[in-house]
């Protein structure tokens, strides 16, 4: 066992604060990573505040982890001490089911082990995330971080990056497609960068008029404020795809009306409460409503290599860990430019 320093939530209401715990021994197939940076995802906030239910306290959030390997188990093949490494939203899975065999471990049909607030495969040991000094992970669930990426700015690729890359690949979104990105936050700004790099025409659909210039700087071709009913009328029947990254309940029917015939809207945002979808929103022009969750290990590595090739990184605000509670409040006000990343040296 080895000591880890961390910041944890102790219940759904109180601010996060310092907490120490023990990581497991480095096993034969494990690597130990000294965490340098950890991104702050809205999913951290949903779980800290128990908005999805099932939160276990103390809860150490964080699933956008990058750092340096400090120890490797005797059978580790991919990594050596001193290598850069990343960990995303899960740290293990059953390895046997169809999804695991297809490299889609996030959809493991038996037991996908979340990086935090989850049970290990023993169904007893609770997992703790990346707002901590170090982590021990099986090498098969650890990613290689390309050297030409800025380390702090690459942390958000481990969740925001792969979550937006995966549907863009799954639905072959690229040149000739008009794509609407709903919500310009952590996921949204990565969706803009990746969809633009794939050659599609990108429109940001935002509730924040002040984000227009940023949206264009990030690579969007158009920007529309969704609070304005006139703009929305103009956008009817406009998009081949809509990628929805919104964290709070909102009207899906409104955005479905902006799809062309045979268009697809992909939900990535996970608001705690359901929103009704009218049958007519889909049947009138044979539209599709879909969802997608993060990405598997092979695709996450592919995404990291794609980002390295195209020089794509997250736009971040680097914060000390002591600012985390304030960062959550700003995230709730949609005031993030465009991902908070914690400098773990401040722990």
Site of interaction with Zn ion (CB under 5 A): 41, 43, 93-94, 97, 100, 108, 110, 159
Q: Which of 26, 218, 259, 336 binds ligand NAP (CB under 6 A)?
A: 336
Residue 91 engages ligand NAP in binding (rule: CB under 6 A):
no
Could you give the CA distance from residue 145 to residue 305 in angstroms, rounded to a whole number? 8
Residue 347 engages ligand NAP in binding (rule: CB under 6 A):
no
Q: How far is the CB of 5 from Zn ion (least distance, A)?
A: 22
- Residue 97 interacts with, from ligand NAP, Zn ion, none (CB under 5-8 Å by kind): Zn ion
Q: How far apart, in Å, are the Cα atoms of 81 and each of 70, 75, 100, 146, 249?
A: 5, 13, 28, 16, 45
Question: Token digits for 323?
Answer: 């600012």
Q: Nearer to ligand NAP by C-beta: 56 or 284?
A: 56
Could you give the CA distance from residue 37 to residue 153 in angstroms, rounded to a whole number? 9
Q: How far is the CB of 156 from ligand NAP (least distance, A)?
A: 9
- Residue 218 interacts with, from ligand NAP, Zn ion, none (CB under 5-8 Å by kind): none
Span interacting with ligand NAP, options 39-47, 96-104, 230-238, 297-305, rule CB under 6 A:
39-47
Residues 6+ apart with CB under 8 A from 172: none
Residues 6+ apart with CB under 8 A from 74: 28
- Residue 108 interacts with, from ligand NAP, Zn ion, none (CB under 5-8 Å by kind): Zn ion
Q: Which of 245, 264, 281, 300 binds ligand NAP (CB under 6 A)?
A: 245
Q: Nearer to ligand NAP by C-beta: 31 or 246?
A: 246
Considering only residues 276 to 315 of the shown chain, the ones binding ligand NAP according to CB under 6 A are 292-294
Residue nearest to ligand NAP (CB): 185
Residue 149 engages ligand NAP in binding (rule: CB under 6 A):
no
Q: Nearer to ligand NAP by C-beta: 32 or 226?
A: 226
Q: How far is the CB of 303 from ligand NAP (least distance, A)?
A: 13
Q: Is the peptide bond before 338 cis (omega within 30 degrees of 0)?
A: yes
Could you give the CA distance from residue 46 to residue 157 in angstroms, rounded to a whole number? 19
Is residue 18 a contact partner of residue 25, using CB atoms and an 8 Å limit?
no
Q: How far is the CB of 147 from ligand NAP (least distance, A)?
A: 26
What backbone torsions phi and psi does residue 135 show, to the nearest 5 degrees?
Answer: -145, 150
Closest CA to 239 of 254, 267, 261, 224: 261
Dihedral angle over CA of 193, 195, 201, 205, nearest 10: -70
In DSSP terms, 9 is beta-bridged to 59
Q: How many CB atoms lie within 10 A of CB 51?
A: 17
- Residue 269 interacts with, from ligand NAP, Zn ion, none (CB under 5-8 Å by kind): ligand NAP
> Which residues contribute to the site for ligand NAP (CB under 6 A)?
41-43, 46, 159, 163, 183-188, 206-208, 211, 245-248, 250, 268-270, 292-294, 331, 334, 336
């Amino acid at each position: 066992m080895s000591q880890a320093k961390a910041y944890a939530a102790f219940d759904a209401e109180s601010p996060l604060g310092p907490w120490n715990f023990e990581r497991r021994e480095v096993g034969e197939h494990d690597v130990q990573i000294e965490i340098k940076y950890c991104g702050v995802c809205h999913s951290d906030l949903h779980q800290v505040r128990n908005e999805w239910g099932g939160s276990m306290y103390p809860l150490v959030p964080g699933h956008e982890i990058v750092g340096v390997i400090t120890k490797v188990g005797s059978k580790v093949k991919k990594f050596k001490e001193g290598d850069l490494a990343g960990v995303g939203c899960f740290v293990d899975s059953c390895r046997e089911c169809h999804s695991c065999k297809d490299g889609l471990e996030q959809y493991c049909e038996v037991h996908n082990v979340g990086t935090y607030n989850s049970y290990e495969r023993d169904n007893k040991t609770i997992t703790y995330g990346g707002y901590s000094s170090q982590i021990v992970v099986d090498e098969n669930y650890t990613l290689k971080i390309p050297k030409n990426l800025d380390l702090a700015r690459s942390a958000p690729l481990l969740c925001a990056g792969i979550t937006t890359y995966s549907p863009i690949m799954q639905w072959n979104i690229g040149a000739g497609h008009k794509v609407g990105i709903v919500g310009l936050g952590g996921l949204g700004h990565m969706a803009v960068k990746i969809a633009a790099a794939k050659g599609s025409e990108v429109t940001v659909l935002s509730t924040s008029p002040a984000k227009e210039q940023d949206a264009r700087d990030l690579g969007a071709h158009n920007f529309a404020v969704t609070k304005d009913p006139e703009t929305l009328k103009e956008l009817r029947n406009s998009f081949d795809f809509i990628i929805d990254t919104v964290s709070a309940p909102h009207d899906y029917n409104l955005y479905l009306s902006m799809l062309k015939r045979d268009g697809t809207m992909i939900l990535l945002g996970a608001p705690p409460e359901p929103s009704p979808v009218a049958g007519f929103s889909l049947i009138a022009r044979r539209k599709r409503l879909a969802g997608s969750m993060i990405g598997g290990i092979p695709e996450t590595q592919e995404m990291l290599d794609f980002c390295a090739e195209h020089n794509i990184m997250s736009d971040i605000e680097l914060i000390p860990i002591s600012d985390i509670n304030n960062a959550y409040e700003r995230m709730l006000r949609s005031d993030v430019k465009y991902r908070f990343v914690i400098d773990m040296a401040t722990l």
